[in-house]
């Protein structure tokens, strides 16, 4: 679900921003709104909040109950700075209407309110829709500011010609109609995986020893969930087979909860034929206790020693890769420890007939299992790509880029 941040400035055309918000949410986008103080004299925050289902922010100083994320997204544990978090989570930032004053501030890099501070922090597509009286729009100062913004890569939507806000005034300066605003925003979205079915496994399986004990691993599911959310942002239809993951969940992604390797195998097998891309990020047990004890094992039953006999589980990735149909892309993970990690990863690529293997060396501090960051090598038949230590979101983006690059050089469904 694409996320749109809408900045509303103080102008008569602010009423059109309401209709834009209605259209955008109806089209399935998740929208948040920041307003300037002046704009609230034209349209109140309650109207935007009612349509978006999210609080509207005016200043940095008010706490954001949604902690910088968009409706439907999981709440982060800490309260971030709104001007940074909102643009980080948005897919595009539209400022409409953009007044002459705000355009001047943006051209100068001023950040004196939440709307302008967010624009300065914005690394996503920034689109401004000027709306003002024609004398103000045609003034050389405004034109110079717009030229500066264009030169910096900001998309400036041309205002329309027609009757202006005050009676009898006619000229250039009308805010484009809401459907045009929406079309302009939508052209900036990354739709590289639109219509593609992506199946992701995430988390770590648990193999029961008895009714209360299990053999598990340290995987939190963060990497798999990050891949799933990135794929959704690129327009994919995403299903996650989640093994014991307690993280917040995104709206619009289908989650299938499993516990054991056998359940994960069944859940993935049932959905494999329908998927175009399989990304096996789960840490799946290679062995399980041969027989789980029905109740809770008591020490007086087991004595001084407890011997567990472990048997191999099915290698889900290999068994699915063996029955792949043409056009499917399969990505495995390889958590390796210490020297030779890359060579092991390459071996896995060939042995399991995969399109890519994401190798991480879990001996490094602060990366991999149960950590917020990761550092990986993405190994494909074409070579390997190093992703230095960064957030799991950024690693997820790099993995999907690799999938897309690989697919463009092969006959797969992704492109
Ligand atoms: N995997 C799987 N089914 C299993 C075990 C692992 O599908 N029973 C998948 C994991 O999700 C991961 C990849 O296989 O994508 C790598 O798992 P790993 O256990 O490291 O691979 P192996 O080939 O078993 O190598 P090793 O000898 O290092 O265990």
Q: What is the pLDDT along the chain (415 residues), one digit of tens a residue?
A: 789 999 999 999 999 999 999 999 998 899 999 999 999 999 999 999 999 999 999 999 999 999 999 998 889 888 999 999 999 999 999 999 999 999 999 999 999 999 999 999 998 899 999 999 999 999 999 999 999 999 998 999 999 998 887 888 898 899 999 999 999 998 888 888 988 999 999 999 999 999 999 999 999 999 999 999 889 888 899 999 999 999 988 777 899 999 999 999 999 999 999 999 999 999 999 999 999 999 999 998 888 999 999 999 999 999 999 999 999 999 999 988 878 889 999 999 999 999 999 999 887 777 777 778 889 999 999 899 999 998 888 899 999 999 998 877 766 666 4
Domains 3-186 and 197-409 share a fold: yes
Long-range contacts of 26-29 (CB under 8 A, 24+ apart): 27/182, 27/186, 28/1, 28/2, 29/1, 29/2, 29/3, 29/4
The angle that helices 222-233 and 392-408 make with each other, rounded to 10 degrees, is 60
- In the reported structure, the alpha carbon of residue 394 is separated from the centroid of ligand 1 by a whole-number distance in angstroms of 23
* Catalytic option among 145, 197, 217, 360: 217
Give, using CA atoms, the residue closest to atom 18 of ligand 1. 334
Q: Which atom of ligand 1 is nearest to the CA of 335?
A: 20
Residue 296 among known ligand-binding residues: yes
**Model pLDDT, residue 372:** 81
- Give distance in angstroms: CA of 284 to centre of ligand 1: 7
The count of other CB atoms within 10 Å of the CB of residue 236 is 26
Task: Say what the alpha-carbon torsion angle 313, 315, 316, 322 is, to the nearest 10 degrees.
Answer: -140
HEC string of 371-400? CCEEEEEEEECCEEEEEEEEEHHHHHHHHH
Q: Is 217 a catalytic residue?
A: yes
Separation of 285 CA from ligand 1 center, angstroms? 8
The pLDDT value given to residue 169: 85
pTM of the model: 0.74
Predicted confidence at residue 413, as pLDDT, reads 62
348 is in an annotated binding site: yes
Q: List, chain by chain if needed, residues with CB within 6 Å of any ligand 1 atom.
A: 261, 280, 282, 284, 286, 313, 315-317, 332-335, 348
To test ligand 1's pocket by mutation, which of 217, 242, 323, 334 has the most ligand atoms within 8 angstroms of CB?
A: 334
The helix/strand/coil state of 83 is: helix
pLDDT at 293: 93
The Å distance, Cα 259 to ligand 1 centre, comes to 17
Q: How far apart are CA 387 and CA 240, in angstroms?
A: 24
* 201 CA distance to ligand 1 middle (Å): 12
The residue contributing the CA closest to ligand 1 atom 17 is 334
73 is in an annotated binding site: no
Which residues have a Cβ under 8 Å from the Cβ of 22 and sit 6 or more positions away? Answer: 51, 178
The residues, any chain, with a CB within 8 Å of residue 183's CB and separated by 6 or more, are none
Q: Look at residue 136 and give its three-state secondary structure.
A: helix
Nearest Cα to Cα of residue 115 among 37, 20, 7, 5: 7
127 close to 87: Cβ distance less than 8 angstroms: no
Which residue, by CA, sits nearest to atom 9 of ligand 1?
A: 317
Residues 54 and 31 sit within 8 Å (Cβ to Cβ): yes
Distance 316 CA to ligand 1 centre (A): 8
pLDDT score, position 412 = 64
Instruction: Give, as one character, the DSSP assignment of residue 367.
Output: B
- Nearest atom (ligand 1) to Cα of 317: 7
Under CATH, which number does the domain 3-186 receive? 3.40.50.1950
Q: Is position 48 annotated in a ligand binding site?
A: no
User: Does the annotation flag 214 for ligand binding?
Assistant: no
The pLDDT, as a whole number, for residue 225 is 95
**Atom 8 of ligand 1: nearest residue by CA position:** 315
CA–centroid distance, residue 202 to ligand 1 (Å): 13
* DSSP character string of 181-245: HHHHHHTTS--TTTT-EEEEEEEB--EESSSS-EE-----SHHHHHHHHHHHHTT-EEEEEEES-
Q: Are 157 and 127 in contact (CB under 8 A)?
A: yes
CATH of 197-409, one of 3.20.20.450, 1.10.10.350, 3.60.15.10, 3.40.50.10300: 3.40.50.10300
**Taking Cα atoms as reference points, which of 315, 365, 359 lies closest to residue 334?**
359
Pick from 286, 335, 353 the residue to mutate for probing ligand 1's pocket: most ligand atoms within 8 Å of its CB.
286
Nearest CA to ligand 1 atom 16: 334
Hey, which of 215, 223, 314, 332 would you mutate to test ligand 1's pocket, going by the most ligand atoms within 8 Å of its Cβ?
A: 332
Q: Where are the domains of the chain?
A: 3-186, 197-409
């Amino acid at each position: 679900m694409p996320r749109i941040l809408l900045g509303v400035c103080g102008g008569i055309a602010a009423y059109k921003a309401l209709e834009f918000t209605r259209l955008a949410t109806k089209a399935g986008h998740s929208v948040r709104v920041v307003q300037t103080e002046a704009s609230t004299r034209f349209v109140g925050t309650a109207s935007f909040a009612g349509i978006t289902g999210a609080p509207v922010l005016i200043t940095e100083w008010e706490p954001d109950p949604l902690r910088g994320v968009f409706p439907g997204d999981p709440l982060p544990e800490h309260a971030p700075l709104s001007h940074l978090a909102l643009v980080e989570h948005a897919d595009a930032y539209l400022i409409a209407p953009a007044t002459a004053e705000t355009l001047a501030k943006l051209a100068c890099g001023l950040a004196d309110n939440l709307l302008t501070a967010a624009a300065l922090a914005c690394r996503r597509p920034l689109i401004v829709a000027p709306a003002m009286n024609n004398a103000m729009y045609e003034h050389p100062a405004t034109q110079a500011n717009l030229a500066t913004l264009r030169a910096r890569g900001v998309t400036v939507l041309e205002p329309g010609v027609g009757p202006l806000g005050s009676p009898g005034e006619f000229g250039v300066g009308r805010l484009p109609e809401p459907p045009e605003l929406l079309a302009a925003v939508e052209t900036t979205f990354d739709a590289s995986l639109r219509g593609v079915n992506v199946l992701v496994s995430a988390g770590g399986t648990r193999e029961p020893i008895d009714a209360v004990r299990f053999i598990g691993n340290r995987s939190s599911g963060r990497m798999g969930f990050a891949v799933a959310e990135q794929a959704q942002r690129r327009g994919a239809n995403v299903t996650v087979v989640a093994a014991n993951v307690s993280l917040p969940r995104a709206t619009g992604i289908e989650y299938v909860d499993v516990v054991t390797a056998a359940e994960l195998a069944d859940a993935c097998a049932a959905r494999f034929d329908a998927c175009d891309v399989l990304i096996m990020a789960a840490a799946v047990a290679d062995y399980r206790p041969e027989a789980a004890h029905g109740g809770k094992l008591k020490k007086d039953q087991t004595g001084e020693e407890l011997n567990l006999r472990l048997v191999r589980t099915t290698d889900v990735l290999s068994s699915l890769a063996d029955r792949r149909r043409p056009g499917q892309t399969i990505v495995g993970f390889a958590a390796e420890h210490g020297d030779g990690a890359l060579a092991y990863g390459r071996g896995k690529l060939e042995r399991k007939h995969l399109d890519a293997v994401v190798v991480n060396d879990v001996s490094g501090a602060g990366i991999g299992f149960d950590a917020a960051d990761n550092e990986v090598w993405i190994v494909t038949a074409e070579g390997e790509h190093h992703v230095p230590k960064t957030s799991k979101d950024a690693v997820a983006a790099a993995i999907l880029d690799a999938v897309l690059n690989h697919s463009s050089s092969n006959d797969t469904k992704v492109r």
